Amino acid sequence: KYSQLKVLDSNKGTTQTNQGVLTSKDAFEESFVRHVETTLARNMYNCDNLAAYQATSNTIRDALLIDWANTQQKQTIQDGKRVYYLSLEFLMGRAMDNALINLNSRDNTKSSLTELGFNLEDVLEQEPDAALGNGGLGRLAACFVDSLSSKNYSGWGYGLNYQYGIFKQKIVDGYQIETPDYWLKYSNPWEIMRNEIQIPVDFYGYVYEDHDPNTGKAKKIWAGGERVLAVAADFPIPGFNTDNTNNLRLWNAKPTNEFDFTKFNAGDYQQSVAAQQRAESITSVLYPNDNFESGKELRLKQQYFWVSASLHDIVRRFKKNHKNNWNKFADQIAIQLNDTHPTLAIVELQRIFVDLEGLEWDKAWEIVTKVFAYTNHTVMSEALEKWPVDLLGRLLPRHLEIIYDINFNFLSDVEKKFPGDRDLLGRVSVIEENHPKSVRMASLAIVGSHKVNGVAELHSELIKTTIFKDFVKVFGKDKFTNVTNGITPRRWLRQANPKLAALIAEKLNDPNYEYLTNLGSLKKLEQFVNDDEFLKRWDSIKFDNKVKLANLIKETTNIEVDPTVLFDVQVKRIHEYKRQQLNIFAVIYRYLRIKELLSQGVSVEEIKLKHYISKASIFGGKAAPGYYMAKTIIHLINKVGDVVNNDPEIGNLLKVVFVPDYNVSKAEIITPGSDLSNHISTAGTEASGTSNMKFALNGGLIIGTVDGANVEITREIGEENIFLFGNLAESVEELRHKHIFEGVHISETLAKVFSAIESGIFGNPDEYRALIDGIRYHGDYYLVSDDFDLFLQAHTKLEKVFGHHGGDANDTDHLHKWVKKSVLSVANMGFFSSDRCIDEYAEDIWNIEPLSQ
């Protein structure tokens, strides 16, 4: 039987189809029981929700594998160009519901589980978040792999399979406490351990020169050192409404059993075991930093481990089909670098070509620069990655040599083009001649790539005029481009907001939800914008989602919020540039003002009508554990909440909530449940933002600065449907200059907030000293003082639009003003599908076509 087949070529798909368990209750249930009894070694009589989750996910996983294997076969046979997306973070969240939706198996699974005595929602809740990312950068990568599959591209992700995800945040006495997220406590059914795919990765050691015995050519040998195995764990990524199922390959570090004389000569068995155990630590921890680098050796080890394993895997796959036909390499392979973290991939590929495959340097470099493209995510120079030459040279001695050679060749070209401009040479050099002497990863990424893109129009313009100005001069402006970020509507609409997705499908007469892969169709919603019945249904879905959010708040904080009030949300990483401090200062001002009015005898009802409508200010997000200022902001938010929420006079007029441990699963509840969301970064600091897109796609309105993707959202949905405020990016430099040389002007309103804080009503004012002093005395780098009153005004304006929604289901004023804007937002958000981004990357940067299905 198979003995004959074994001699055939290995590029075959499977012998099975997956239709059974996806569409038949009997097949599902049979598989479910089999997994309970064998895979889990439990029995049906004591099968709890956790076991049900495991049995269900194993059943779905089996089905997914069929598509996955067939996709690999198809990709191999069609042998088109592939793209590899290298990202140090993939913030995937939960996998099961996404798989059920993309495989169109949610209904069969739900009813099968019901027959077996389980509730799908409870079962879904058992899955831990795959929290392998800090924030936007990692979530972007997750949306991109979803779109690559859904749009039928041949595109894989490569990352690391961290044992510990981003820390879990607890709030204790108002402070953020970080606890480790050991998410793999139960085995992960979505991870396919590929123990047969093992790639050795070396560190340390030394370089010597040898001569090729055949050609006599000198060649560099990297020898000695420490060896670790990269073992593949594959995560199948199903596309929506297609069988195309790409692969996300995350590497695990494992000890090698190979015999290392240099290590064992010492004869210390305990030491050698310890060295093996250390190997695994390479993939144990995701660094919990967002937009700043900690410069730890282990981080650099992670980066090299990951890119080395990935590159060798990519080259191996290429050679299987194309042997040593290197001329075809750049026609077959595109590699996208998500931020500078994978920049060593450029060096590693050059090393593979020159040292291992024997190509000439120039030939190799020509291929390398055609293969790579680099996505920049920040203009903040403090967030640009650098590595000390000493550290890099000790860890990767051969790579440092190659970096120097790359830089020498590059600078020679610059010198030819701009003879004698030594300042220019110093500014564009890959090596920063400083203490410590460092390698500038962004410069290396630019030099080694054929395209560099920003992630929103404003951001892409800014990098060309600020941090990368000199490179534009050297390479010309065509090397620099823009691809505005996007989000996957499968997770962020269909999965997070099933009722709204269903209403849209109904109105678009699209029972198969095809609009989810063709998001421009949302435009058709505009025709219903004057249909009151439609607006009411729309509003009532929002209300249901707000109830769900209110329940989450009650569960996690024990605070009760009334779902009829305005839900004013800011959830994202806590960072000074994102300006949660601006938001909480405004909340404090609102509280003080309400108290003042009350003390003047104004009634609560009157306050609601004339001054402030009822609202809940909802915050969420993690601060990097070492980021003192961000942690201070969290503390202040929580302390303000303690005071406001326990003030009996205030009642529903104002609640202040900090939802702990914001993550993807919580975002799936918070996003659809918001009326308004804050995207209020100092202009010019937020590269794009993607949560703004998520909120708008779910019918929430935005209050925001003219920053990042807010600009394009405004263009798409119309200025009248977004609440913009604040100074513009072009004024930032000047304002900062003025702050330093002319002082910071604290408005009367902000001064009231500061003195309230300093009065101690939110606890020991010393704890907030750095926050206030940073604005008052240290130059207010993030322009809080400049934007504060503008922010308050924007709120006054938007509250008028929201109206007095509380309790009145027939508030047509609210419907015609607020809800209409909500519909028009959604109708015009089609542009922000990550499918559109991927198409742009495919066409402008990668030059790849979808697979024929």
Active-site positions read: 377, 572-573, 578, 690, 694
Residue 65 sits in the site that holds its own copies (CB under 8 A): yes
Contact status: 37 vs its own copies (CB under 8 A): yes
Tell which one of 66, 501, 550, 654 touches its own copies (CB under 8 A). 66
Contact call for residue 187 and its own copies (CB under 8 A): yes
Question: Which tokens sit at 69?
Answer: 């294997």
- Is residue 177 involved in binding its own copies (CB under 8 A)? yes
Question: At closest approach, how far in Å is the CB of 258 from its own copies?
Answer: 9
Q: Which of 23, 272, 481, 556 binds its own copies (CB under 8 A)?
A: 272
In the complex, least distance from residue 177 CB atom to its own copies, rounded to whole angstroms: 5
Site for its own copies in 677-706 (CB under 8 A): none
Binding to its own copies in span 531-550, by CB under 8 A? none
CA distance 358 to 356: 6
Of 669, 717, 710, the residue nearest 690 (C-alpha): 710
Verify binding: residue 476, its own copies, rule CB under 8 A: no
Establish if 223 lies at the interface with its own copies (CB under 8 A): no
Size of the site for its own copies (CB under 8 A): 77
Q: CB-based contacts of 434: which residues, under 8 Å, 6+ apart?
A: none
Choice between 47 and 724, CB closer to its own copies = 47
Helices 49-78 and 106-116, axial angle in degrees (round to 10): 150
* Least Cβ distance, residue 459 to its own copies (angstroms): 30
Contact call for residue 499 and its own copies (CB under 8 A) = no
Among 159, 288, 393, 641, which residue sits at the site for its own copies (rule: CB under 8 A)?
288
Smallest distance, its own copies to C-beta of residue 665, A: 16
Does position 3 interact with its own copies (CB under 8 A)? The reply is: yes
Does residue 28 belong to the site contacting its own copies (CB under 8 A)?
Answer: no
Q: Is 391 in the site for its own copies (CB under 8 A)?
A: no
3-state secondary structure of 481: strand
Q: Which stretch binds its own copies (CB under 8 A): 133-141, 160-168, 683-691, 743-751?
A: 160-168
Residues between 555 and 614 with contacts to its own copies, criterion CB under 8 A: none
How is 756-791 classified by DSSP, letter by letter? HHHTTTTS-GGGGHHHHHHHHTS--TT-HHHHHHHH
Could you tell me which residues are beta bridge partners of residue 678? 703
| Coil, strand or helix at 330 | helix
Smallest gap from Cβ 68 to its own copies, in A, equals: 7
What's the distance, CA 162 to chain centroid?
15
Terminal CA-CA length for the chain: 30
Q: Are 658 and 634 in contact (CB under 8 A)?
A: yes
- The reply on whether position 451 binds its own copies by CB under 8 A is no
Residues between 191 and 220 with contacts to its own copies, criterion CB under 8 A: 192-196
Residues 796-815 that bind its own copies (CB under 8 A): none
Quote the least distance from Cβ 635 to its own copies, whole Å: 12
Helix, strand or coil, per DSSP, at residue 658: strand
With binding defined as CB under 8 A, does residue 741 bind its own copies? no
Q: Could you give the dihedral angle defined by the CA atoms of residues 757, 761, 765 and 768, in that order, rounded to the nearest 10 degrees? A: -50
For residue 578, give the nearest of 468, 702, 708 by alpha carbon.
708
Kindly state the smallest distance separating residue 15's Cβ from its own copies, in Å.
6
User: Site residues for its own copies, window 7-26 (CB under 8 A)?
Assistant: 8-16
770 is an interface residue for its own copies by CB under 8 A: no
| CA gap 697, 701 in Å, rounded | 9
Q: How far is the CB of 24 from its own copies (least distance, A)?
A: 14
Report the site for its own copies in 612-631 (rule: CB under 8 A): 625
DSSP one-letter code for 569:
E
* Longest Cα separation, the chain: 97
* 323 touching its own copies, by CB under 8 A: no
133 binds its own copies (CB under 8 A): no
- What does the DSSP assignment read for 411-473? HHHHHHHSTT-HHHHHHH-SEE-SSS-EEEHHHHHHHT-SEEEESSHHHHHHHHHTTTHHHHH
The pairing of beta strand 480-482 with beta strand 451-454: parallel
CB of 511 to its own copies, least distance (A): 30
- Among candidate residues 614, 615, 633, 613, the one with its CA nearest the CA of residue 623: 633
Query: Strand ranges (DSSP E) for 537-685?
Result: 566-571, 615-620, 654-659, 676-679
| Tokens representing residue 348 in the block | 């590693």
3-state secondary structure of 712: helix
Among 79, 115, 532, 596, binds its own copies (CB under 8 A): 115
Residue nearer to its own copies on the CB measure, 95 or 525: 95
Taking the complex as a whole, the smallest distance from the CB of residue 12 to its own copies amounts, in Å, to 4
Pairing state of beta strands 676-679 and 701-704? parallel
Count CB atoms within 10 A of the CB of residue 580.
26
Structure tokens belonging to residue 168: 């879990």
Does residue 259 interact with its own copies by CB under 8 A?
yes
Contact status, residue 11 vs residue 77, Cβ threshold 8 Å: yes
Q: Which stretch binds its own copies (CB under 8 A): 170-178, 307-315, 500-508, 831-839?
A: 170-178
45 scored as a contact of its own copies (CB under 8 A): yes
Quick one: 268 or 360, whose CB is closer to its own copies? 268
Q: Which of 23, 24, 29, 461 binds its own copies (CB under 8 A)?
A: 29
Q: By CB under 8 A, tell whether 185 contacts its own copies.
A: yes
Exposure of 160 in the CB half-sphere (CA atoms within 13 A): 31
Q: Which is nearer to its own copies, 261 or 741 (CB)?
A: 261
Interaction of residue 646 with its own copies, rule CB under 8 A: no
